[in-house]
A and B are shown apart, each in its own frame.
Chain A
Amino acid sequence: MSETNQNEAAELSGGKPAVSRRDFLNEITLGALGVAGLGSAALTYQYFSPNVLFEPSTTFRAGNPDLYPLDSVTFLQDQQVYIVRTDAGFYAVSAVCTHLGCITQWKPEANMIACPCHGSKFQPNGRKIEGPAPRPLPHYSINLTADGELQVDKLQIIKSDQVLKV
């Protein structure tokens, strides 16, 4: 005989109720503790996610466009960004390797960007030549300020075929 049938039988015969007082209190206590536990887990997660970060700004000015000669790749060490100027215009490529976050280096003699940590290689436009990096180097949004300087926003990643014509 299953448990439900037993309970029903007990109820019909006017005996014990379907749920005993002890079971009811146990369940309601465990339920309350579960809800409180989930709530405190969520609160703890929120507590550990900072709302204000004292990190360097992700937007920066890269100076006057005339600073960059035609067909050049310039590494901005403080920002970890390459400013590339071609016939078509300007674009900004991340210098952070997509493999494990090391800082890549521009090798003008080989015309490529290389990572010193695990040997990934990229073209100046960020396209991957050789792994272990899984993805190409991303392009950051680049535009001109009102006073004619280049400005890069490292939070905005744009398609690699978009260039800034000056």
Chain B
Amino acid sequence: MATSFHAAFESLRANRVWKSIFRSGPAITNRTRSLAVFGNLFLHWLPVKVREKSLRVRAAYYLGSLSFLLFLILVVTGVLLMFYYHPAAPNAYRDMKDLRFVVSNGVFLRNMHRVGAHVMVLLVFWHMFHVFYRGGYKPPHEFNWVVGVVLLLLTLFLSYTGYLLPWDQLAFWAVTVGTNIISAMPVIGQKVRFVALGGNIVGENALLRFYVLHVVILPLLAFLFIGVHFWRVQKDGGLTVRSKDDDGKN
């Protein structure tokens, strides 16, 4: 069985189409393994080699990877929610209720999106604390720390803009209070609030603006900065590892 499977895989590899996609051939030597990573768009910004230490769970508790995984989950569930949601009053509230009580598995997707967002904020903060206490912001990682701060802000803005979309009392008052904090800015505060809301009150314009920010602008920015963040981890020499772990292991 194992040999026939192996033979089938070998014949697949000999196929012309397969060869045109994976040009470097089977990754059996260090050179061909490296070529396989370099030649793949999705792998090329990951390091070709890593220190064994940086793969230990305690090196980072996979906090960054888990944050990214949650981001992907939120993109997928969010796109699915968009199929039933109209960013207009009063449809928005009804659509949210429909997702909870009428649409098949809607409550599962909505809660996955909602809880996933909470967990992502938690993990991004935890990731940041871990990097901070490990000294991961020190040279040559300073720039990537700053990129990380931008990603933290994007995560918080995504949460905040998403908070308005259910269009319930909680959403309305949270955004009323939040945008009134904006208007406390000296001189330009009122103008910034007016443009952010598209009016003087939290109304339909504000809902639409927050929706566009939430589903297009902020996720695109997050993708961009996540790409830079991952790429810089490799360029800055991989994860920060200590010469000796707390448990004394090298």
Complex contact B199–A53 (CB within 8 A):
yes
Complex contact A48–B200 (CB within 8 A):
no
Query: CA A53 – CA B202 in complex, angstroms?
Result: 12
- Residue B65 CB within 8 A of the other chain: no
- Residue B85 CB within 8 A of the other chain: no
How many pairs, one residue from A and one from B, have CB atoms within 8 Å of each other in the complex? 29
Contact of B199 among A45, A50, A100, A101 (CB under 8 A): A50
Residues on B lying within 8 angstroms of A by beta carbon are 173, 176-177, 180-181, 194-195, 198-201, 203-205
Complex contacts, B204 vs chain A, CB 8 Å: 54
Can you identify 9 A-B contacts, CB atoms within 8 angstroms?
A54-B203, A55-B199, A55-B203, A100-B177, A101-B177, A101-B180, A102-B177, A117-B173, A117-B177
Complex contacts, B205 vs chain A, CB 8 Å: 50, 53
Interface of A is mostly: loop
Query: CA A23 – CA B198 in complex, angstroms?
Result: 43
Interface size in chain A (residues, C-beta < 8 A): 11
Query: CA A7 – CA B75 in complex, angstroms?
Result: 58
Contact of A55 among B173, B181, B195, B201 (CB under 8 A): B201
Contact of B195 among A48, A53, A101 (CB under 8 A): A48
Q: With A50-B205, A54-B204, A55-B203 known to touch, is A100 a contact of B195 (CB < 8 Å)?
A: no
Query: CA A49 – CA B199 in complex, angstroms?
Result: 8
Closest residue on chain B to residue A53 by CB atoms:
B199
Query: CA A55 – CA B205 in complex, angstroms?
Result: 10
Complex contacts, B173 vs chain A, CB 8 Å: 102, 117
Query: CA A49 – CA B196 in complex, angstroms?
Result: 9
